[in-house]
Amino acid sequence: MSRPDAALVLNDGTVFEGYAVGFVPEEGVTTGEFVFNTALSGYQEVLTDPSYAGQIIAFTYPHIGNYGITPLDDESIHPWAKGIVVREISDLPSNWRSAGPLEGFLIQHRIPAIAGIDTRRLTKHLRSSGALPGAFGNAPREVLLAASKVAKGTDQMDYVSLVTTHEPYERGGDGPRIVALDYGIKSTMVRQLADRFRVIVMPADASADEILSHRPDGLFLSNGPGDPAALTPQVATIAALVERLPIFGICLGHQLLATALGASTYKLPFGHHGSNHPVKDLETGRIEITAQNHNYAVTADGLKAAHVSHVNLNDGVVEGIAAPSLRAFSVQYHPEAGPGPHDARYLFDRFDRLLETGSLEAL
């Protein structure tokens, strides 16, 4: 199959050559912030994770699409990533679950992609320079260069309002009633909660009074995209509820809870995106291999009534906090693991026990 030539241009002027695949926009230009993901599989779950809104994903695994696509693996109603970068995209998927090829999925959802890229070189560059805005496509090189110079990253960007649900909905049946604030919640996360609780998923801008009107037994704070520093109203809502409800936060929810408890956040050089990050539980000494997807992290300075509970063994990043007196805890990584290892799914059971007993156990 003949493919149009394409190029990828970062806003520092670095150029990579490849060819266009997936959806090809008429103007031939796609812009966003480039990040790399090190997972060996799970490309569909990664693509449909709302936490990637505003970003272009470079997959480090060289062959993407080899087992096709199935609606069973969607983490949201459609992909939120602005585009993808691959070394090679498979034209012939082989798996009994496959309902079609990855490229057809990209075309259906109007997601541009570029293949033939030296993703090893790109990853090394992003590790050295940090996540960078840029552009790719089959437009003339000078057009791509100009677009890369005005491309935006995620700093001070509120993508949560783009990905959140607009109407509340319920899942699950018996069990304690919880409100889950949807900052970009994944389907696997909702399923894990619905297996244990009666879940009311509410928009990210729900007020404290609207949340309390459902008479919940607990509050869950989901993952999501963008810069937590841009979400001042959400932090205020959490601060108003932190002494009234047991709380469990994941990823962006962890960052917002920590901010409500006096901490601050900062942008990592190139983020954590993958399925193999080692995390240590400081209370038990247990090591977990975790799935992660975040560009921002928490600094523990200023934390009130809370302590650091987990750290990343690669770089020491805060991976969890606990506030026993407030009945609140959170983790930076993804215990629902779609995709990724299931080492940390016990945390959903810990939340269940917190609602039952009113206390945190060894966290």
**Which residues are annotated as catalytic?**
251, 334, 336
Q: Could you tell me the end-to-end alpha-carbon distance of the chain, in angstroms, rounded to an integer?
A: 55
Q: Among all chains, which residue has been given the structure tokens 């906090």?
A: 321
Which has the closest alpha carbon to 77: 6, 182, 151, 210? 182
Distances (CA, A) of 144 to 9, 94, 141: 6, 35, 5
Tokens of 268: 């990592």
AA identity, residue 95: N
The secondary structure of 168-224 as a DSSP string is -EEE--SS-EEEEEESS--HHHHHHHHTTSEEEEEETT--HHHHHTT--SEEEE---
**Quick one: DSSP state of residue 41?**
S
Q: What's the burial of 214, exposed, middle or buried (CB within 10 Å: 0-12/13-18/19+)?
A: middle
The secondary structure of residue 230, as a DSSP letter, is G
Residue ranges of alpha helices (H) inside 245-313 are: 252-260
Q: Are strands 264-281 and 287-299 parallel, antiparallel or unpaired?
A: antiparallel
Instruction: Using alpha carbons, select from 100, 52, 43 the residue that is nearest to residue 74.
Output: 43
55-67 b/e (C-beta count within 10 Å ≥ 16 → b): bbbbbbbeebbbb
| Cβ-contact 12, 132 below 8 angstroms | yes
- In degrees, rounded to 5, the angle at the alpha carbon of residue 272 between the alpha carbons of residues 266 and 276 is 150
